[in-house]
Amino acid sequence: MVADDAVMQLLVLGSTGSIGLSTLDVAARHPDRYRVLGLAAHSNIGRLRDQCLRFSPRYAAVADPAAADELRRQLAADGCPTEVLGGDDAARELAALDEVDCVVAGIVGAAGLRPTLAAAEQGKRILLANKEVLVMAGALFMEAVRRSGALLMPIDSEHNAIFQCLPDDFATRGLAGAGVRRVLLTASGGPFREAPLERLPEVTPEEACAHPNWSMGRKISLDSATMMNKGLELIEACLLFDAVPEQVDVVLHPQSIVHSMVEYVDGSVLAQLGNPDMRTPIAHALAWPERTTAGVGPLDLVKIGRLDFEAPDLRRYPCLGLAYDALRVGGTACAALNAANEIAVAEFLARRIRFTDIARVVGRVLERLSSQPVRSLDDVLAADQLARNDARSAVRALTAA
């Protein structure tokens, strides 16, 4: 439902974050093709106000009600006509609006679930960065996409790369029907790929969030250091491409130039390469099936010189192993994995547990888990809550010890 054939009306969920900023940068390069109709954030109203003044969206959603009131006051004083909606449900309301053509799912964590699901139910074009949505409620979400005819475009760089390496009709043919032998998800290995294992308990949040190649939000940067991010992406890949875990391999590639690969039964391996800049997958997914400029410079392979690959070591990255376990168990296990990880990451960032305790907390939650089938969103939310409580108990046990 594009209101004016030439202009796509965008809703950017998480507009103040790293994905949001990259999306607005691409959109601003093509005002003839994209209009920013709505923005959504949690509480960073300083940045949101600047974005409202620059893009004049019709709507802004702010999850924190007090911050929403303050933004409303400031925008009125600025003479900016943007309508501000406040509260937990505001982003979901915007995602369901008829006038929205395309929803960029760039909220971090479980908070993005309801608005992204609403976009799927309403048949929008969805640019999905918020992988936690698929990890928590993958089957429900994919079913909503199928029922409504939504167009789901992955913008996680790895999944966007896989999408680009698959034939356009892979969804109807399936991976085997399309001649795919396996999918290779690349991973940088994060900042501790070569650190001595005995140093890992002592690393600080600042060191853990300093990604060697990508500039991203704190949670995904930290998840990259533990490789839980690759675990979440493994689950994401299985859902997006209807793959079984055995069809997806993870390979370390420290330069982050090959964003992922698809291997075919005839021995061909197709890869997508590019500079590590999220504007490339975002521009690809916005313009697909066409191509548009993203502001990303050309890839200089001669300057890069070499591309290395190695197998991940699960002793260094136990979170990756936990994600494989959750995927094999199925049901609510992936929602529990995600929830436990969110708690453990927050506790590490607050310096209450050590880096190596993150996997310990998630592992304890999975050990105690009795996985249930996912029939409804309530099942997912109940599993999420239970796992958060279990993770907090595991943290208490660790910090008391």
In 149-243, where does DSSP find H-type helix?
Answer: 157-165, 170-177, 205-208, 218-226, 228-240
**Binding status of residue 190 toward ligand NAP by CB under 6 A:** no
**Binding status of residue 217 toward ligand NAP by CB under 6 A:** yes
**Binding status of residue 43 toward ligand NAP by CB under 6 A:** yes
CB nearer to ligand NAP: give 152 or 178.
Answer: 152
Beta strand 180-187 with 258-264: parallel, antiparallel or unpaired? Answer: antiparallel
Where does this chain touch ligand NAP (CB under 6 A) — which range of 18-26, 116-124, 256-264, 299-307?
Answer: 18-26
Interatomic CA distance for residues 192 and 200, integer angstroms:
8
CA-based torsion, 277, 337, 154, 381: positive or negative = negative
Instruction: Out of 9, 16, 188, 226, point to the residue binding ligand NAP (CB under 6 A).
Output: 16
Where does this chain touch ligand NAP (CB under 6 A) — which range of 92-100, 213-221, 234-242, 388-396?
Answer: 213-221
Report the nearest approach of ligand NAP to the CB of residue 116 (Å). Answer: 10
What lies within 8 Å, CB to CB, of 282 at 6+ separation is 19, 22, 23, 26, 104, 127, 155, 294
Instruction: Out of 10, 166, 220, 322, point to the residue binding ligand NAP (CB under 6 A).
Output: 220
CB nearer to ligand NAP: give 124 or 364.
Answer: 124
Instruction: Out of 40, 150, 327, 344, point to the residue binding ligand NAP (CB under 6 A).
Output: 40
Interatomic CA distance for residues 67 and 84, integer angstroms:
10
In the region spanning residues 244 to 303, those forming contacts with ligand NAP, defined by CB under 6 A, are 278
**Binding status of residue 14 toward ligand NAP by CB under 6 A:** yes
Where does this chain touch ligand NAP (CB under 6 A) — which range of 42-50, 311-319, 334-342, 377-385?
Answer: 42-50
In the region spanning residues 50 to 79, those forming contacts with ligand NAP, defined by CB under 6 A, are 63
CB nearer to ligand NAP: give 17 or 274.
Answer: 17
For the record, the structure tokens of 258 come out as: 């090959």
Nearest of 219, 188, 256 to residue 18 by alpha carbon: 219
Q: Is 298 strand, coil or helix?
A: coil
For the record, the structure tokens of 160 come out as: 């966007």
Report the nearest approach of ligand NAP to the CB of residue 381 (Å). Answer: 14
Backbone angles phi, psi at 312, to 5 degrees: -75, 145
**Binding status of residue 179 toward ligand NAP by CB under 6 A:** no
Where does this chain touch ligand NAP (CB under 6 A) — which range of 70-78, 214-222, 332-340, 366-374?
Answer: 214-222
What one-character-per-residue DSSP string does 320-380 give?
A: HHHHHHHHHH-TTHHHHHHHHHHHHHHHHHTTSS-TTHHHHHHHHHHHH-------SHHHH
Assess contact for 121 and 148: CB atoms under 8 A: yes
What one-character-per-residue DSSP string does 204-219 give?
A: -HHHHT--SS----HH
Assess contact for 36 and 12: CB atoms under 8 A: yes
Largest CA distance in the chain: 64
Instruction: Out of 57, 106, 274, 363, point to the residue binding ligand NAP (CB under 6 A).
Output: 106
Instruction: Out of 52, 95, 107, 336, point to the residue binding ligand NAP (CB under 6 A).
Output: 107
CB nearer to ligand NAP: give 131 or 364.
Answer: 131
In the region spanning residues 125 to 154, those forming contacts with ligand NAP, defined by CB under 6 A, are 129-132
Report the nearest approach of ligand NAP to the CB of residue 63 (Å). Answer: 3
Assess contact for 63 and 42: CB atoms under 8 A: yes
**Binding status of residue 23 toward ligand NAP by CB under 6 A:** no
Instruction: Out of 35, 42, 92, 230, point to the residue binding ligand NAP (CB under 6 A).
Output: 42
In the complex, the residues that contact ligand NAP under the rule CB under 6 A are 14-20, 40-44, 63, 91, 106-108, 111, 129-132, 156, 214, 216-220, 278
